[in-house]
Chains A and B, each alone.
Chain A
């Protein structure tokens, strides 16, 4: 647990002299994957994003004193849930943010509800967090599986990719992703011509890719994540999938994965994200600050990390308005009442079921010849407005909404 008391001191010195009438004390914990599969997607970069958000907010609101700690859940629900328990019980943390990995997020969400604290999910994908497993203490910020499935599925079908073959990781998350995307594809006039399930953490996709090639589907949907996606794309390059006219659709791919793959291998890959560093000047300026603070060369912020910045900002606004961080449900209600506005995601809202709404974008990975500078990896294919990007409120089966 890294205590950044320095920030509290900074906030105090920025307050021009004298004791202030009402000091609001807040403690935030960034719970992320610091050391393994998702450490580039969230990890230390999320901590940096949180620091920036706190610095920006306390500069304008000196009577809010914020402490930040961070921890590693190592992608294990049991470690995540223990950390959450301990942070809430012993370390008096008010809000936990990030947690890539849906299993961990679901566990932490339970713990948070039982202790009436707040949980802002930036890193995890499971749309169940605003569906059957929603609660009054959790907000799902950056993206979710429904958005990914619909964004990529629908947009691709509309741009000509109407026959699909699925390569699915054989576990709950993969199945869910495949199911949601297949539904989106078929709802928009496309056809699923075949699918194959592969074990999680498969090293070699050659036999599955052979099957995908044989299917002659225009799009090969990768209903998997992390190392599996990377391996599939790598093998695909070898087997000439893209050269043969088929395209890969990454259903859960981040900018950091694309950089890891390298443009020669990843070119032509289509994916959906809600934020990209190079989209506008505000993002670029923030990226420079993030990179300076992050200190590791060649890294660019992902949408998850941008989401942490945005989430912390909105949270602190709500806490300042209520003058207290103690009652989780009350703060969440305030966050849902107030529209959001920050330099990275612009204007948006938090819905009754805890879903944050903002536009999504269909990106395509550039060819090496099209990339002019490091980090120049995407070109925008389509923009999906906020109302369409996420699952309609009624379809979620969230007890808060129907009950």
Chain B
């Protein structure tokens, strides 16, 4: 039975490291140059989603757990970050930290419940928990319900740098994204990461080798939730808005789509996937009614024909690891 992820089962080699490093350099260069060619607000939003997708991918690509309710962490971090910045008057970096911490806590609670089941049950439990928190967000006073938390101030980073300056904001978002990305990279290529991959391959064997797999899975879950939270918290400051969209299940579905399109189990896949999907939504805004259908078609096509995703196929063709 084919596993969720179809990694190139290659031994670690110099070639792998080189290709990933080159890809990383290309990505950073592109992101630095891009705001001079494209609308910066769009790019910042795309980076937030890219980090979200990378965080999601940590679970599905490297641990083999499909979390269908990841919007919970993204959205609630977004709310807390917005609330902290607007009502408590936190500076942006503290607001983002608040949001991220919230996501970590949510991840811990949700993870401990969800880890009790596996495979599809796990997915459904995460979905149901996310839905429950959605309804809570709907009714809680502080989230602003249908209106969301609006007019979130960009604020002054560390009290000095005015983030209403688009370039300053862009640099902040870029740093958050790269930090998160590198952190995930570090996790994957660490002993901890190797255990995670072992659990994905064959959990029973990992248990028999003495690993407390549940604990590893929970840690991975919390890390994934925390990073998703960082993405959401940053997004709230950039777009100056936190709304129900961020906690609703279509958002969970979207991050799955982004990762699927980009390539599960590849570190650059989710980044590419998120940009692709966002550009698609942007371009198709004119035929807004069909976006849902097209996303569905892409899902189906990816699952049936294109399981490795864009980066996965590319990596496969070039026989490198991305």
Residues of A within 8 A of B (CB): 1-2, 34-35, 71-72, 74, 76-79, 81-83, 85-86, 89-90, 101-103, 106-107, 110, 170-173, 199-200
Contacts and interface: CB of A to CB of B under 8 A. Distances in A.
A171 B145 CA distance: 6
Given A82-B239, A103-B243, A71 B285 contact: yes
B249 to A, nearest CB: 13
A76 B245 contact: yes
A106 B139 contact: no
A107 B240 CA distance: 10
Contact of B39 (A35, A89, A170): A89
B42 interface: yes
Interface string B125-162: 00000000001001100001111101100000000000
Contact of B150 (A34, A77, A79, A101): A77
Given A103-B144, A103-B148, 20 more contacts: A1-B286, A71-B286, A72-B285, A76-B244, A77-B148, A77-B241, A78-B148, A82-B41, A82-B45, A86-B39, A102-B146, A103-B146, A103-B150, A170-B138, A170-B139, A171-B138, A171-B145, A172-B147, A199-B138, A200-B146
Contacts of A77: 147-148, 150, 241, 243, 245
B146 A171 contact: yes
A85 B41 contact: yes
Given A34-B288, A110-B150, A81 B145 contact: no
B2 interface: no
Chain B interface category by residue count:
20 to 34
Contacts of B246: 78
Contacts, number: 81
A292 B244 CA distance: 37
Nearest to B283: A1
B239 A200 contact: no
Contacts of B291: 35
24 contacts: A1-B285, A2-B286, A71-B286, A72-B285, A72-B289, A74-B288, A77-B147, A77-B148, A77-B150, A77-B241, A81-B239, A82-B45, A83-B285, A85-B41, A86-B42, A103-B150, A106-B150, A107-B148, A107-B241, A110-B150, A170-B139, A171-B139, A172-B145, A200-B138
Contacts of A35: 288-289, 291-292
Q: Top 9 closest A-B pairs, CB basis?
A: A72-B288, A103-B147, A171-B145, A35-B289, A172-B145, A76-B245, A77-B243, A34-B288, A103-B146
Contacts of B41: 82, 85-86, 89
A78 B241 contact: yes
A110 B292 CA distance: 28
Given A102-B146, A172-B144, A79 B138 contact: no
Contacts of A85: 41
Contacts of B244: 76
A76 B148 CA distance: 9
B39 A90 contact: yes
Nearest to A126: B147
Nearest to A171: B145
Contacts of A71: 285-286, 288
Interface in B60-117: none
A199 B135 contact: yes
Nearest to A90: B39
Contacts of B285: 1, 71-72, 83
A79 B151 CA distance: 14
A106 B148 CA distance: 10
A255 to B, nearest CB: 22
Contacts of A199: 135, 138-139
Interface string B37-59: 00101100100000000000000
A210 to B, nearest CB: 22
Contact of A34 (B240, B241, B289): B289
Contacts of A171: 138-139, 145-146
Contacts of B42: 86
Contacts of A1: 285-286
A2 B284 CA distance: 11
A49 B288 CA distance: 19
Contacts of A34: 288-289
A188 B228 CA distance: 52
Given A106-B150, A172-B144, A78 B239 contact: yes
Contacts of A102: 146-147
Contacts of B151: 110
Contacts of B150: 77, 81, 103, 106-107, 110
A200 B143 CA distance: 15
A106 B245 CA distance: 16
A90 B40 CA distance: 11
Interface in B240-293: 240-241, 243-246, 285-286, 288-289, 291-292
